[in-house]
Each structure stands twice: as structure tokens, then as C-alpha cells.
A = this chain, B = another copy of it.
Amino acid sequence: MARTKASITDLAQQLGVSVSTVSRALSDHPGISDATKKRVWKLAKELHYQPNHLAAGLRKGRSNLLGVLVPHIDGHFFTLVVKGIETIASKAGYNIMICQSNEDVAHERKNIETLLSAQVEGILVSMSRTTRDFKHFEKVRKQEIPLVFFDRVLDGLDVSAVVLDDREGGYQSTKHLIKQGCRRIAHFSGPQHLNIYKHRRQGYIDALLEAGLPIVEELIFTCDMTLEDGIEGMQQMLALTNPPDAVFSASDFSVVGALQELKRRKLRVPQDIALAGFSNETFTSLTEPMLTSVDQRCEQMGQSAVRLFLEMREEHSSTFSPRRVVLQPDLLVRESSERVSGKK
């Protein structure tokens, strides 16, 4: 019948009341008689009335939209973060709009623009790998829209962010390896302009120093953290006159590469070389031996990011001071690093 959607005005006309009355009735405003409310609700059902959030948003100056900008949606990490974000956001009455930057600053810039036009009330972002400056984010600030970074942040920038204590993760892993009796611990690290890799490496260094062990340059392999990089890294290490007795990799993928190479050479893990990765990817508990790794609290990270946004929203922009949430990593010891069969 009515092919075009019914609006609040249609309801008003058919009921012989004013639009305001209908509007208020629909939102269960106290100043409307129960009789009228019921009439309105009834007709609304009949006409399949569908409130228009765009219009409401325009009028109220609110969109109930939360923007999320990530490098990409595949993979373990961002997926879980997004899940955490969606869960909390929807509880708070927000819908989320997702964009991928594809690890490209240009895309990132465009995405920011898009999100702003969509009138999002806040933006949660993890920077692309190629992002080195902050200009395009300044615009967000200027509009006084809450901006929360997660995981990937530009260091030394006064912004709200929720991050993992990557240094601690690196520190704990390495310390654990030391406790297992390892003395020459190699480290596979990633691009150093990314805070996460820098910090994981720092943790590694701190643990070594604390134990009075030397920092050996040739034991640190910097790469892109793929599985293939792991294979290559392992090959390099084994070619040394004095090979390591353990590897702490800043990524689970490269540690799997290392594992494969070791197996190919019939070396035993952890007896000959112990392994520890980072991220607690699904597959770490499916390999043989199972891989020690660090859980990044992905889902919690997403949740915290939303909560941070909600807090910022409450505050007057004058009072505003960027907050930072640091999540504690969770070292999961598995077979690949358990040399001492002893109890904990």
C-alpha cells in the first residue's frame, strides 16, 4: 500500500494531532497522556513506522556514531579489538563505522575526512604503518571530537591512547627464557619506527641487562616479521659461530618460521633452542611444540578505547587532558620454552 516510508508527520495527520505530540509520544515523554501514546504507538506499528536517525541526529546535533580506523581488518589482533569496540559501543548506544587504511597514509587521510563528514562523535584509530606525522589528526582535534589511539601511537604525542605495555611483554618473555637457563637469547624485531616493536626490544634489552647478560648485536635480527622472515632469521642465527640457545620473537608468525627451520634441521625445541613469540595467535597452541607467547588483551583493548572515548565525551573540552591506559600483557608459557620441567 504505502510504498513510501511513513514519517512522524504522516502519523500526525492520520491521527489529527500535531507532529510534536507524535514525537513526544514516541519517545515516551511524560507530558503526553497514555491514551494518546497508545493511539500513536498503534498506528506506528500499522504503518511500519521507522524512526529516522539521520533527521534526529541532525536536530539533536548527535549522530550516535563512533568511527573506527584500522590498518586492516584481517588477522587476529584488529579483529578482536574491533569486536571489543563493537560490544561496548553498542551497549552505550553507539553504532560503529569501520574504515581500513590499508597501511597507507593517503587512505588514512581520506578515511578521517569521511568519518568527520559522517558526523561521528569520536574516532578510535590505530595508525597505518606508513604514518609518520600527525597533521591529519589535528583536524579532528580542532573540531573537538574525542580522538583515541590504540596499540599504534606516535610516541611523545599528547593524545589519549590505550596501549599494551609492550616493554613489559618483552621483558617478561626474555626473563622467562633466562630463568629457563638460556644465556644467548636472540631477538627478532620489527620496524623500529613503530612503538610496539621498539618497546618489545627495549624489554628484551632490559631483561638481559638485569641478568648481567651482554647485548649482542648479531643476535638481534630486524625484519618485517613474516613467517618467511622468521625462516631467514633462524638461518642467519644458525650460521653464527656461536648460535643462540633461544629466540624471543616480537611476532608469532616469525617464530613459526623459526620453528619450521629448526625442525627441518632436526634440532629440538626447546632443548636445543627455546622459542617465544608475541600476540598469542590462534595457531600458537596448535603447533608442535605449542608456542610460548604473550597475550595482548586485544578485546580488552577495544573495550578500554571505547570507555576512554566515553569519558572524554563527558568532560568539558577545557578541562580536557589526554589520558593513557596501559594494559598489562599476559605471558603464556607453553612447551616451546619449558626446559625446566619443574613446577612453577
> Do the beta carbons of B117 and A50 come within 8 Å of each other?
yes
Known: A87-B100, A142-B48. A95 touches B74 (CB 8 A): no
> Do the beta carbons of A98 and B117 come within 8 Å of each other?
no
> Do the beta carbons of B100 and A97 come within 8 Å of each other?
no
> Do the beta carbons of B98 and A96 come within 8 Å of each other?
yes
Q: In whole angstroms, how far apart are the Cα atoms of A283 and B76 in the complex?
A: 12
Asked if A306 is at the interface (CB within 8 A of a chain B CB), the reply is no
> Do the beta carbons of A82 and B86 come within 8 Å of each other?
no
> Do the beta carbons of A55 and B58 come within 8 Å of each other?
yes
Inter-chain contacts of A86 with B (CB < 8 A): 73, 98-100
Q: In whole angstroms, how far apart are the Cα atoms of A142 and B57 in the complex?
A: 24
Asked if A54 is at the interface (CB within 8 A of a chain B CB), the reply is yes
> Do the beta carbons of B286 and A118 come within 8 Å of each other?
no
Inter-chain contacts of A27 with B (CB < 8 A): none
Residues of chain A whose beta carbon lies under 8 Å from any beta carbon of chain B: 3, 5, 48, 50-55, 57-58, 63, 72-75, 79-80, 82-83, 86-87, 90, 95-100, 114, 116-119, 139, 142-144, 256, 263, 281-283, 286-288
Inter-chain contacts of A5 with B (CB < 8 A): 143
Choose from B51, B58, B114, B263 the contact partner of A117 (Cβ within 8 Å): B51
Inter-chain contacts of A283 with B (CB < 8 A): 282-283, 286-287
Inter-chain contacts of A82 with B (CB < 8 A): 73, 98
Inter-chain contacts of A288 with B (CB < 8 A): 263, 287-288
> Do the beta carbons of B63 and A74 come within 8 Å of each other?
no
- What is the CB-to-nearest-CB distance from A228 to chain B, in angstroms, rounded to a whole number? 13
Inter-chain contacts of A51 with B (CB < 8 A): 117
- What is the CB-to-nearest-CB distance from A185 to chain B, in angstroms, rounded to a whole number? 23
Inter-chain contacts of A99 with B (CB < 8 A): 86, 90, 95
Please, could you name 16 A-B residue pairs with CB atoms under 8 Å apart, sorted by A? A3-B144, A50-B116, A53-B118, A54-B58, A72-B83, A73-B83, A75-B79, A83-B100, A95-B114, A96-B97, A97-B97, A282-B282, A282-B283, A283-B283, A283-B287, A288-B288
